Amino acid sequence: MKPTILTTATLFSASISASIGAIAFMNAPWSISHAENLEHTQQLLSTKACAKCNLTGAGLVVADLGGANLSGADLSRANLSRANLMGADLTQANLTGASLNGANLAGANLSGAILDGTDLRDAYLVNAQLFGTNLNRAYIQGTIGIPAYAGTPEDFYAWGVIEAEKGNYRAAIENYNQAISLKPDFAPAFLARGIALLRLSDEVGANRDAQIASKLFTEQGNQAGYQASQNLVRLVEIALNPPKARDRGSLGNALLGIGSLLLRFLGPF
């Protein structure tokens, strides 16, 4: 199927800006709840068992909560940044607006958890269970280990583009890999991964992905995608034959030009 190409990348950029604004609003002093139940917080820290507790707005930065039972707990707007939650039970927990920035959630069970506006940036989710959750309204830049079932190919592609824009090319590649594993004919993901690989000086990998993307775009009747893939092939050739110093800037600009096209591939494929 021929992809639907947005007429402008501005819409996507605006949505990212709105998301960043939303997280800033939730973290503003006037939005923080003061309804934390200190007795429940103390219970959690002393016993690691606080199912269905009221922990709204709780300050739990770097807390050691490995294996804690927090099923059904209200952790909305709680600060769990860099907390250890390995193997914790967070099923059906309300994590609306909570910060789990840099938290270790390896092996944690978040099935059915509410993740609206949840800050999961740089969190570690390897082997975590996310059945019945929705990450579309969470903040996941730099998040490691998101399972394939927790997003669509388009989700992982979009997350990869965001990482690449920040210069996090390895994290971007991980997301593109997930998109491709879910949808092997996802041409934009091959093109995007090729660009990221070239940024990491992997010319062989970049050329491979550019060739695959070119073939898929041709089969799908997408002329813009095909042309972008061919441009990437030529850029790989230039990279393999180092340009003169005065030409290096044009190489970078050419990569940026192709990269800006990636935003336009968001939509049904």
Which pLDDT tens digit goes with each residue over 202-251? 999 999 999 999 999 999 999 989 999 999 998 898 888 865 544 555 55
Burial class (CB in 10 A: 0-12, 13-18, 19+), 210: buried
Confidence of residue 180 (pLDDT cuts 50, 70, 90): very high
Query: Higher-confidence residue: 126 or 245?
Result: 126
Q: Tell me the CA distances in angstroms from 128 to 87, 146, 228, one per residue in order.
A: 8, 8, 37
- Considering the four listed CATH numbers 2.160.20.80, 3.40.50.300, 3.20.20.140, 3.30.540.10, the one that applies to the domain covering 32-150 is 2.160.20.80
CB–CB of 73/53 below 8 Å? yes
How large is the average pLDDT for residues 71-86?
Answer: 98
Pick the residue with more confidence: 131 or 4?
Answer: 131
Least confident of 10-14, 117-121, 232-236, 249-253: 10-14
Alpha-carbon distances, residue 54 vs 30, 82, 105, 142 (angstroms): 20, 21, 21, 29
Query: Is domain 10-15+152-265 in CATH 1.25.40.10, yes or no?
Result: yes
| pLDDT value, residue 169 | 94
What's the whole-number mean pLDDT along residues 45-66?
Answer: 97
% of the chain at pLDDT higher than 90: 68
Q: Counting runs of H as helices and runs of E as strands, what totals does the chain give?
A: 8, 0
| CA-closest candidate to residue 254, choices 216, 173, 201, 198 | 198
Model confidence at 252: pLDDT above 90 = no
pLDDT for 6 beyond 80? no
Give the number of other Cβ atoms within 10 Å of residue 56's Cβ: 22
Taking residues 37-57, what's their average pLDDT? 96
Percent of the chain scored above 70 by pLDDT?
Answer: 76
Q: Region 150-162: what's the mean pLDDT?
A: 91
Asked whether the whole model's pTM tops 0.85, one would answer: no
Largest CA distance in the chain: 67
Question: Would you kindly state where each structural domain of the chain is located, as residue ranges?
Answer: 10-15+152-265, 32-150
pLDDT band, residue 59 (cuts 50/70/90):
very high
